[in-house]
Amino acid sequence: MSIRDKKIVVVGAGIGGLAAALALRQRGGDVTVLEQAAAISEVGAGLQISPNGVAVLNALGLADALNAAAVRARAVSLRDYRKPGEVLRLDLDAYAPDLSYCFLHRADLVTLLADAVRACGVPIRLLQQVDSADLNGCATLHMSNGSRMRADLVVGADGLHSRLRSQLNRFDQPFFTGQVAWRATVPNSIDLPAEAQLYMGPGRHLVCYPLRGGRLVNIVAVQERKNWTAEGWHHQDRPENLRAAFADFRGTAGALLEQVSEVNLWGLFRHKVAEHWHGPNAAILGDAAHPTLPFLAQGANMALEDAWVLGDELAGADNLESGLAHYQARRHARAVRVIAAASGNAWKYHLRFPPLRGAAHLALRLAGRVAPARMVGQFDWLYRHDVTQEPAA
């Protein structure tokens, strides 16, 4: 089946939606993007694009734009929240020189994707809120302004609260993980190098890395707590609350926290991977299909992988139905594995019992000295996976 001239509507102009629009347009689709916001603007914070996500952006023709916008990571440094020095250093330059790990502001990635989408002739229509979709026959979107839009295919890239997900799947109640996270950016007045530094403490951890040519530092701070905060990372909080929660974090972490003037707080919730990623004339991707916790920094990367695979499978399928089925078959198991790995990662940084934390950090130090390459390569199954090179389902 050729998707050339098929009318495709992508709902959501975030990373996954824009990448899908670009992938589908490059294969000949007649694509329109709908966005409910008044402007294409991603506020907030940074993100990490690991090699599996970089592979997709490169295949979409965005290598130069990515290199211009991103800081290339040279290492990951694990540290104790109070003690000087490193617990473990994962030297990416030495042990993964062929891979690109990138730090960039979320707004910069959205901008470069939106620019590429528009350059391909894809319209991005703003202030377009979808109320529901009729998927029988030709898909019909019912908009909040009373208008309707028809398409051969609707792609739901509209995030956690996707309307299309709710139509394709029975409602499942997410549950609070007992963790909240703050996000902030501050000036890089401490000359943080091109590396991710992760500070581990009892019931808490903090990650920081540079953005925008090293001018800014992104901060993500996670705390275990019993009371929960509403889902979504746009909720503002007082910087004093963040500093109080991490008051005993010293060194670089403490210096960065002193600079925070604006911060967002969100509760971390677990969601099930959607049972159905597609239906008649419809598909979902990214957080709409498989929301993930941030402990492997894979949310954006998984959305990029989804976007590529959706375009790849539809372009090579005999018909729309089989292409959508192959898309889910190719993506489901990987999404489940990545989400499970991310969900199980946080406790390693939050050990409370001092002797246990000391023993664990000692084990990490020894492993880093004895087998540094093995430590860097422990997630090769994730980072070295390239969906642009894998065979179709």
Which pLDDT tens digit goes with each residue over 216-228? 999 999 999 887 7
- CA–CA dist 181, 195 (Å, integer): 21
User: How, if at all, do strands 102-105 and 88-91 pair?
Assistant: unpaired
pTM of the complete model beyond 0.85: yes
Average pLDDT over residues 281-302: 94
Rounded to whole angstroms, the Cα distance separating 85 from 106 reads 30
**DSSP state, 164?**
H
pLDDT in tens, 121-160: 999 999 999 988 898 878 999 999 999 999 999 999 999 8
Q: Is the pLDDT of residue 107 over 90?
A: yes
Closest to 338 (Cα-Cα) out of 305, 302, 374, 377: 302
CB 190 within 8 A of CB 251: no
CA distance 315 to 22: 13
- Annotated catalytic residue 209: yes
> DSSP readout, 198-257?
EEEETTEEEEEEEEGGGTEEEEEEEEE-SS---BSTTEEE-HHHHHHHTTT--HHHHHHH
Q: Which of 265, 232, 61, 245 has its CA nearest to residue 159?
A: 232
pLDDT of 16 over the 90 cut: yes
Predicted pLDDT of residue 43: 62
Q: How many CB atoms lie within 10 A of CB 137?
A: 9
Spatial CB neighbours of 245, under 8 Å, sequence gap ≥ 6: 182, 204, 221, 223
* Number of other residues whose CB lies within 10 A of the CB of residue 237: 17
Q: Which of 81, 101, 199, 209 is catalytic?
A: 209
Q: In the chain, how long is the greatest CA-to-CA distance? A: 65
Q: What angle do CA 12, 18, 23 make, to 5 degrees?
A: 130
Residue ranges in 96-235 assigned as alpha helix (H): 106-119, 163-168
* pLDDT > 90? residue 271: no
